Structure 1
């Protein structure tokens, strides 16, 4: 043990709320380095039992990825990596007592598994991600689905498969909304889901549902209020992605604002009605509502915790926040760091490196976001994006096979951070083998 490690406060309690990409990576690295030695007492709190990389949710929803092959069990992972996992949802914060309040956990049958609890901390890290922002649009809560967590993706997939089976079995003509999907929001999630659904719905009906004609009966519509899709990408790539979706038969409506979501479709501001059996809201983001001014901490208009460049909240140096739930200044630019998976990964790595400095009394270093660009997968058809910054020394638009390999590498980096090279490699090989012996799309 080095001199610096000997000066660490043994048993210093670190509580991390949120087991998303950033939170789980930070807990894993702190547990491996300090938790095993007893230097830090690291606890991860999350309301789910398992973790799945959020950018993969559209694949689970479409059925092109089996969640069971990719999910990480928190309880097992914490045991292997030197930290504690506690199930529950954060509902409050007492800064004076340095306690996080967690709601009771209730199972699917309504029985209480764990009571309301409080967890003491010396350092608190909040990394609970974001959720969709429906901007108060009527009907969204009642009739639209969102892709915010695993349960949402699983629910959508089940409803999609059931819709195909129902259409095949019924003797009467299809209703106008049957087998129609409306996706509101043409950012990465909306566009990726549309491309995946074009393929997987056809794969589903190919397994004996021959009374459904996918080219005639199945229709996917993407609705975007802006004048183009994928506004975070350069115009040329946005146009290329829209052209591809159109060639696949996906209807793309830009400059179209939603007035309300109906039980059987979507009504636009201009009066048009888009029939849809399934409606997905994928427009806008905000931090969870309970974060608004929690514990007297500073938040912005979309509930994000305002943090300094050190990732410390502005009103409490013992509380850190990062990822989508934090408004972090983008040094050298106007505004804040964009809510992207690459930012959460970078911030987790940065915060991990700062713990030794914090615990031995050294000043913390500022986090500097490195923009490596954006990549959007269009399923097996293509991948488009832009690479920039430290990755290539400039900026470059990419498409096709190279872009797809870069997109896949982002997930492999996440797996590497959680499992190490050996397990990541073995898991990848196992999935390749398994895929050869199972349906190409999940059917249940």
Structure 2
């Protein structure tokens, strides 16, 4: 706590957060230290969470004999509970003033860490579902304030790259987590228990790094380029958020409303990672022992592409790249419909497209949302869009699980692909007029 307090006390413009660095400086070193520290926290935390996520589908379906519909319900709860509390986390972090973002994020990270050892104690499906719901509550609480801290620390002109760097570091943890789970499952007699215990220890380390090294308060960095000024002007012209009805007021802003609508439409046809990996595993009849390695392909592609695609988003427009990422996902769905026989090449292509989808959408949507909301409502604005997207994916998990059970895998994937194509077309129409006029990058503006 002492280290974090000293950093928070540093006066603005002392160079520690990169606010007064030359705007033309390129590369990761031009980003503020806060982004890199938050990336480190996410890296450590993702090692912990992905250890569990990598083995959970196989544990529930193969060990407990859960049906695809039952898994769809549990997977929907796992991904959907966070949506119910993201608005709470965003709103609480905004009300807490400058220190609120870190405080709420710390509670969220700590809550998720405490759930890991509980998986050692519960063995029935309802209790496992309850523990996972609490874990996702922690994730829901921390996501919006964490992204708000990133958006406030980074200059608007490089906001896409800042989120790209954070997501790349986060994904490095996602790359390591399944590897650790794979090793533990093969080395330990009680493999699942070992995974859960090690996951808890790693999660605690992430909380410690957050408390010690993330500043208590983060002052917003205001860009001086033509583009940054134009973005602030667009946000200022929108209706005020209002302190008493934040969600309704934020949705009254056309930019936020369009982004939320598109996130919901596309989320309704975005299969969860677990379902995509199960579809691959069953379609190719992969040995169950190799299942935890499937997320590595997605994570590797995400890791390699998050930073460059974040920079591309800063240049061509964040909404455009967000839509392009969903086209990559549509191509992955198409490959899932290919008859069995593709082997390793098919698996690799699907996972690379899946990772490309995340690299072009995850941090990019957060950066686009940050452009559209005022600084004093940044956490709430990010939570509104993220909640809509996560709730839609919850519905998609339920629907896909039911479709898989009733019609089979191939028909369920085909339905999702057709829905995604339609949602992408509608979203392109909605966002076409939503992109504010932005001048070309000036020579001094970072790419």
Q: TM-score, normalised by structure 1?
A: 0.24
More helix by share: 2
More strand by share: 1
Tell which structure's C-alpha radius of gyration is larger: 1
